[in-house]
Chain A
Amino acid sequence: MKKSNIPESQFELQVPESLKTEEMTISMGPQHPSTHGVLQVILKTDGEIINSAKPQIGYLHRCFEKHAENITWHQVIPFTDRLDYIASMNNNLGYVIGIERMMNLEVNERAEHLRVVVSELNRIASHLIALGTYGLDIGAFTPFLYVFRDREKILDLFEEISGARLLYNYIWVGGVAYDAPEGWREKVLEFCDYFEPKIKEYNDILTYNKIFIERTANVGVIPAEVGISYGVSGPSLRGSGVNFDLRKDDPYSIYDRFDFNVVVGKGEMGTVGDTWDRYWVRVDEMVESVKIIRQALENLPEGDAKETVPRNIKVPAGEYYMRTETPRGELGFYIISDGSKMPNRVKVRSPAFCNLSVLQAIAPGVMIADLVAIIGSLDIVLGEVDR
């Protein structure tokens, strides 16, 4: 029988000559609260240090692409809502603009402006969740409550214009589902006035908090080359100092008419591309979004937003790749049509999936607690990773 290592009493404690150590495999998730959904990460750890981290995905797979092959063009829109369920407006927009470009459809001016307003409002709502849950991951609970209070106001605006709070089905081929109700424009402007001072509040309570900075600065640095080679996009890539924003670089809808800045990470608190930079890009992007909303509402033309919505959607045979800038990055819809009433194929290039893939490259060598900070800063939504 093998002799036990456990000493009989503490006085006989002896350190073995060669202490046997080995890599430990830990599976983090899929029920872990800070993996933002049902993500499982298989960690190989040496003590507290991570040797390798492999994301295991697929727990939220709902066959979006297969579904899209069996329903009509219009019926796909509610399904796109459910990809990235906290920025549904932006998902609608990408798919719809793809079809419109295939059909060569001109869209009513008022509808275009409303689209920009709702998708920028949704960007703010999504970034607010990113900030709040990121604070929660690090251990700051109060900002989470504050951002949810303000996000609630955006959801109320959405409920008034589209009737739903989360899955809107609002942006349609050729226009929008409903025109803005009376007084909605003033309410949005009121929200902008209310919201701008709140950003300073978030900065006071979380962004410039020394403890928060210590936890996030110089952690999980994504160098620009690594980010580009892994296909990272959106605020996660801009945090690494790369000036890449599809609203500027490949303008869609009417984004080329607005004056706004692309926020890039500068390494204010540590290295360029660390988690604090990615967080900061999101904070500053909300300011830019408010700017865009103000400009769009200022020039909001009168008219009927449903004027150009076609009765039957007839997409000519062909293929098109449409990419838009969602709060998470480049969302691409590769649409193939054979001229029938259903799509032949709708392939989604989801930004959260590509952003998550960089985890394997930057995780080795960090502590387990820092991995939580890294996953939070990538701002993934599992609905979009798995589709």
Chain B
Amino acid sequence: MRQYFKNIYEAIATILVGMGVTWRHLFTRAVTVQYPHVKRELPERSRMQLFVEMDDCIGCMACQRACPVDCIDIKTVRAGKEEDLGETSNGQKKRLHVVQFNIDMGKCCYCSDCVFPCPTGAIRMTPEYEFTTYDRSSLLFKFATYTPEQISELQERERKEKEAQAAARAAKLKAAEEAKKAAAKNDETKSE
């Protein structure tokens, strides 16, 4: 019986202690932020949205290789011999047309592993976090500035160049083979 009343007393006493804590909290400032109206400034390093400075991209695909979830898709076309694509901000010469630089933010795991291997600092994480959409396909960010016509033109040119190269190589091979045959014949005639 005594234990029964003791329990009741303890329960009430400890609840009052707890209520004291909440009572004190009534007079402290609120820590919540009314989000859409008030926006907290994020630190510089915040990893939110990926951004690519296309003027600096040299198309080395280091970021694509570093990505653990394969969310970056790059396509490049080799520049012509007399073409000048300019330089990046840290003085590297650009030798490739980056005709496609797609980042699927729906796949991205925000690890920022792509940021570190970039030799020119073109790809980076920005503190921009409000990019929610209603459609998953609009999370595919396209950074390349080439129009489809330009791309097909460049690819056509590359194909032709490659064909020409392959033809040249084949001709070279053939010539080498013929020379070999001739040499073999010569040997035969000599041994005879």
Interface flag for B170 (CB, 8 Å): no
Interface flag for B164 (CB, 8 Å): no
- Tell me if A78 and B68 are in contact (CB < 8 A): yes
Q: Nearest A residue to B65 by beta-carbon distance? A: A72
Categorize the interface residue count of chain B: 20 to 34
Q: What's the Cα separation between A165 and B17 when bound, in Å?
A: 34
Q: What's the Cα separation between A205 and B15 when bound, in Å?
A: 8
Q: What's the Cα separation between A75 and B111 when bound, in Å?
A: 9
Q: Nearest B residue to A150 by beta-carbon distance? A: B31
Contact with B along A152-184 (1 / 0, CB 8 A): 100000011111100101000000011001000
Stretch at the interface among A27-35, A207-215, A217-225, A347-355: A207-215
- Known A74-B113, A79-B68: A210·B7 in contact at CB below 8 Å: yes
Contact of A169 among B7, B17, B21, B111 (CB under 8 A): B111
B106-128 residues at the A interface, CB under 8 angstroms: 109-113, 116, 125
- Tell me if B45 and A206 are in contact (CB < 8 A): no
Contacting residues, chain B, for A75 (C-beta < 8 A)? 66, 68, 113
Categorize the interface residue count of chain A: 20 to 34
Residue with the greatest number of chain A CB neighbours at <10 A, chosen from B7, B15, B112: B112
- Tell me if B109 and A163 are in contact (CB < 8 A): no
- Known A149-B31, A204-B17: A160·B109 in contact at CB below 8 Å: no
Q: Nearest A residue to B12 by beta-carbon distance? A: A210
Contacting residues, chain A, for B31 (C-beta < 8 A)? 149, 152
B46 to A: closest C-beta gap in Å: 5
Contacting residues, chain B, for A164 (C-beta < 8 A)? 46-47, 110
Contact of A204 among B20, B43, B110, B111 (CB under 8 A): B20
A106 to B: closest C-beta gap in Å: 21
- Known A205-B21, A211-B15: A163·B68 in contact at CB below 8 Å: no
Contacting residues, chain A, for B21 (C-beta < 8 A)? 201, 204-205
Contacting residues, chain B, for A161 (C-beta < 8 A)? 45
Contacting residues, chain B, for A211 (C-beta < 8 A)? 11, 14-15
A31 to B: closest C-beta gap in Å: 25
- Tell me if A78 and B109 are in contact (CB < 8 A): yes
Contact with A along B22-64 (1 / 0, CB 8 A): 1001000001000000000011111100000000000000000
Interface flag for B148 (CB, 8 Å): no
Q: What's the Cα separation between A161 and B7 when bound, in Å?
A: 48
Query: Could you show 23 A-B contacts with beta carbons less than 8 Å apart?
Result: A78-B109, A78-B113, A81-B111, A149-B31, A159-B42, A160-B45, A162-B45, A164-B110, A167-B110, A167-B111, A169-B111, A177-B112, A181-B44, A201-B21, A204-B17, A204-B18, A209-B15, A210-B7, A210-B11, A210-B13, A210-B15, A211-B15, A214-B11
5 nearest A-B residue pairs (beta carbon): A163-B45, A78-B111, A75-B68, A210-B11, A163-B47
